[in-house]
Amino acid sequence: MKIAVIGGTGLIGSQVVKILNAAGHEAVPQSPSTGLDLLTGQGLDEALEGADVVANLSNSPTFDEASPAFFRTTMDNLIGAAAEHGVGNVVILSIVGADLVPGLVYYRAKVLQEDILKAGPVPYSIVRATQFFEFMDATLSWTADDKTVRLPATRIQPMAAADVAKAVADVCVGPPLQGTRCVAGPDVFTLDELGRITLAAHHDPRTVVTDDSAGMFAAASGDALIAKEGAEIAKTSYREWLAR
Ligand SMILES: NC(=O)c1ccc[n+]([C@@H]2O[C@H](COP(=O)([O-])OP(=O)(O)OC[C@H]3O[C@@H](n4cnc5c(N)ncnc54)[C@H](OP(=O)(O)O)[C@@H]3O)[C@@H](O)[C@H]2O)c1
């Protein structure tokens, strides 16, 4: 199959490209650095030429109030072009529980991205993944100083980017789901606990202070970010990933 992987130079996209090509497909990375800008539509016709499937793994450059406009414009451009080119499956990667955290504008933007895809004329698949292990260092850095890292006790069920990429690649080569597949990591943590495990593994002497108002994930409560019944559970555990 020929698969255009938009955002194919990013953390998930680059791994999806590798998995698909290793399986004998023709996966082509597409992004601003290869000449495709999904915001302006520049390079989009060339990118979709002959594509059976498009995986859109692009990301907004910021997680703030600008993110809804990014996902709206990029999805409008993509769906219009995918319909013209007769693409058989448009796959996007969203976030488990995004609809349950209305206080986070970036999550609202991801729900908007899903809604635009569902309402459009092209066959589609939505993969929802939990937070990536690779995202943990950035999460710590937002609310850290020299001595402490402030984190809320938000419950999360993170997973390895490699497992996310595998789930996306599987969906790319299957029939359009016309729905959503959820994937999550094998263990549930509170974010402050995860911070302590991460700092200890890095021999970082800072202390984690539990602060339920700290950082982006303070907006999520209860089990909003935890996998629901029917989710696929990935194999790689956080401790195993940290030890690599
Ligand atoms: N972080 C999480 O825990 C999490 C959880 C679930 C789902 N997700 C979703 O997973 C997706 C992929 O995330 P990621 O971490 O792999 O992203 P990433 O590493 O930041 O990569 C973003 C990709 O988007 C491309 N891009 C940026 N602007 C573009 C534009 N205007 N047109 C076309 N491509 C553009 C970038 O291209 P260049 O390299 O050329 O700049 C890059 O390839 C995102 O949609 C995100 O919402 C994230």
Q: How far is the CA of 57 from the centre of ligand 1 (A)?
A: 5
For residues 205 and 196, give the distance between their C-alpha atoms in angstroms, rounded to a whole number: 10
Quick one: pLDDT at residue 208? 98
Query: Looking at residues 15-44, what average pLDDT do you find?
Result: 98
pTM for this one? Answer: 0.97
Q: Where are the alpha helices (DSSP H) in 120-221?
A: 136-142, 161-172, 191-201
C-beta 110 within 6 A of ligand 1: yes
C-beta 133 within 6 A of ligand 1: no
Q: Would you tell me how many other CB atoms lie within 10 Å of the CB of residue 66?
A: 13
Could you identify the atom of ligand 1 that is nearest to the CA of residue 34?
A: 40
C-beta 13 within 6 A of ligand 1: yes
C-beta 138 within 6 A of ligand 1: no
- pLDDT interval class at 232 (50, 70, 90): very high
Residue to mutate, 56, 59, 156, ligand 1, most ligand atoms under 8 Å from C-beta: 59
pLDDT in tens, 117-127: 999 999 999 99
For residues 33 and 8, give the distance between their C-alpha atoms in angstroms, rounded to a whole number: 10
Quick one: pLDDT at residue 91? 99
